Chains A and B, each alone.
Chain A
Amino acid sequence: MIKLAFLNLFRRKTRTLLCALGIAIGVAAIIVLVSLVDGFTEEFNAVVGSFKGLSVYEKNTQDAVFSKIDESYVGRIESLPGVKAAIGEIWYVPQKIDTEAVGLTAFAAPTVYGLDISKYYSTNASGWVGAVEKGSALSSSELGQVLIGRKIEKDFKKFVGSPIEIDGKRFKVKGILKSESDLTSSIIVMNLDDARDISPLESGQISSLTVTLNDFSKDATVAKLIELQFGDDLQVFTQADLSEQFGSIVGNLRLLAIAVAIISSIVAGIGIANTMLMSVLERFREIGALKAVGWTRGNIMKMILYESIFLGLFGGLLGILLGFGVDFILLLVGISSHISIGLLLSSFLFAMFLGIVSGIYPAYRASKLDPVEALQG
């Protein structure tokens, strides 16, 4: 009976293929969305999760790029108990690299990250700035030199020793950052004073602070202390705050993925039900004959359900291939994703479940066909 159901599916190849494609698109959409969210989460954990300290921004800003604070806070925060060091930072999205216009319009726009290099090395706040794949790390004495992420290296065809012009100012590439994360591949690292030269910040101003602590486990206490003292101007994010913020973004993406899953499953389910119903009605005489020769209603239902499960599985397989394809294309343009075994397995089960549920009604209709009607005409 399984063989018969399988063969029946290929009697109308085009129709089967079109219906399977409908399922495939739904399954692929789910795979792509979930794998993107998973990939994003992985990267976040790799970069932010390893960061041991506090981030200090201007009050009421969500992103360091839009934050502006007075440099005097470096000393004022360092004088607080529990603080090891406060590292001044400038975040800046340039308008032009060499002769090419860049900016916030592009996905993962090139971003300048200027920081107090000497203090960074003395406290070793976060790993990725120091890890260089080619060339060598920055030193605080050498102005006019930068480290670039892999995407900048690729997009602008740079190598160690290349000149690079950022918003009209010439720099030299000293090294390529090792980190493979999307979050750091578009970053240009330079000394704080160089960054201030090209950014609209005035002297004595910085974007944000990274605060390192004597005892990282006391981060919430120190964060409270900073807000108590300077809460009128500053806001403080602990690692937990950042994770929570990120979690809520990811949560929204997950909701979106679930919505897409629900919509696509309804569409695909209707597709299967319609295809199976048509196929049942076309074969009413054949099904009537089966009943006449001693097939029970249960036997007929089983055959049609097998067909519809096969259809679901076929669509699911196609969808997995499609999902891999789309993720691969995204990878080529620099967006990484993560397809887990669990995701593949659940997409496959989902497609099978879809086959069963949407096959129930056509199978019921087939089982109810009157053999007499089926044999007339």
Chain B
Amino acid sequence: MVGIVELQNVTKRYVMGSTAVDALGGVSLLVEKGDFVVIVGPSGSGKSTLMHILGTLDHPSSGNVLVDGKNIASLDDWDLAMLRRKKIGFIFQSFNLIPTLNTLENVMIPTEPLAFGKEGLEERAINLLKKVDLGNRLLHRPDELSGGQRQRVSIARALINDPEIIFADEPTGNLDSVTGKNVIELMYGLNKKEGKTFVIVTHDQSLLEYATKKVFLLDGKITKIEYKKAAARKGEKK
């Protein structure tokens, strides 16, 4: 089976003056359709770098990144933007919503540059917002929403282009534990019921219980990958 995203022996080296830092030292990872990958590691372990490379925002120093079996090294900025627009969704720790736009407009922002094919998008955005329980907050602006609500807006934004894979960088990092749990349960539900593929990067070990694939990262290397059958996950009968 071909993975949605596959890393083959990827390294990333940052050069600052005379010192070189190896953020990633030979990482191989396969993300398959329907996966709920949780990558954990202490700060400085290279997990953000790993996510940026998985999400095509950054290029590796060596090794291959395959998306749908195709090496992305040959793609230019424009191709990569198109790839992200069509196949990838992002959820950020600090939400990164546009403060001047309301909830509905924020969800639709990835589709804003489209010249055509916008029919039905607003309806789709409204449905997504209903799904994340914000159907009654369509015209609120980000500063009128709580942290948990803002993160749910960004989840809806990540889903607007019906992506194959969604990357989340510390999605619970700016939220209290109860709100964070609600947010992660929401993503979990989308994975379980709709088969959406998630890759979550976090230092919060408690998210591991939702994972189909637990990836442990330390000093730029994967120390362990644990697989769990979907059926064995939290809340599901064995």
Contact = CB atoms under 8 A, between A and B. Distances in A.
Interface in B34-66: 48, 52, 55, 57-58
B78 A296 contact: yes
Most buried by B among A286, A295, A375: A375
25 contacts: A1-B113, A4-B100, A4-B101, A4-B109, A4-B112, A11-B99, A285-B96, A289-B90, A289-B96, A290-B109, A292-B57, A292-B84, A293-B89, A293-B110, A294-B84, A295-B112, A295-B113, A296-B77, A296-B113, A298-B78, A299-B113, A371-B57, A372-B52, A372-B57, A375-B92
B152 interface: no
A244 B109 CA distance: 62
Given A4-B101, A289-B92, A294 B55 contact: no
Nearest to A299: B113
At the interface, is chain A mostly helix, strand, loop or mixed? helix
A8 interface: yes
Given A11-B99, A299-B113, A293 B157 contact: yes
Of B58, B77, B81, B161, most A-chain CB atoms within 10 Å: B81
Contacts of B57: 291-292, 371-372, 375
A298 B94 CA distance: 25
A1 B96 contact: no
Nearest to B85: A294
A122 interface: no
A293 B109 contact: yes
Nearest to A302: B113
Interface of A: 1, 4, 7-8, 10-11, 285-286, 288-299, 371-372, 375-376
Contacts of B85: 293-295
Interface residues on B, range: 20 to 34
Contacts of A291: 57, 81
A10 B58 CA distance: 33
A288 B94 CA distance: 12
B98 interface: yes
A327 to B, nearest CB: 37
Nearest to B169: A375
Contacts of A11: 99-100
Given A11-B100, A294-B86, A296-B78, A376 B110 contact: no
B82 interface: yes
Contacts of A297: 77-78, 81
A278 to B, nearest CB: 17
A292 B55 contact: yes
A10 to B, nearest CB: 8
A294 B110 contact: yes
Contact of A296 (B82, B86, B98): B82
Contact of B90 (A4, A293, A298): A293
Contacts of A286: 96, 98
A372 B113 CA distance: 21
Nearest to B78: A296
Nearest to A376: B48
Given A7-B101, A295-B113, A372-B57, A285 B81 contact: no
A4 B98 contact: yes
A10 B99 CA distance: 11
A265 to B, nearest CB: 29
Contacts of A299: 81, 112-113
A11 B142 CA distance: 14
Contacts of A7: 100-101
A139 to B, nearest CB: 76
Interface string B178-206: 00000000000000000000000000000
Interface string B93-131: 010101111000000011011000000000000000000
Given A8-B100, A375-B169, A292 B109 contact: no
Contact of A294 (B58, B100, B101, B161): B161
A292 B112 CA distance: 14
Contacts of B84: 292-294
Contact of B94 (A8, A285, A372): A285
A285 B97 CA distance: 10
Contacts of B112: 1, 4, 295, 299
Interface string B120-152: 000000000000000000000000000000000
A371 B84 CA distance: 12
Interface string B71-90: 00000011001101110111
Contacts of B113: 1, 294-296, 299
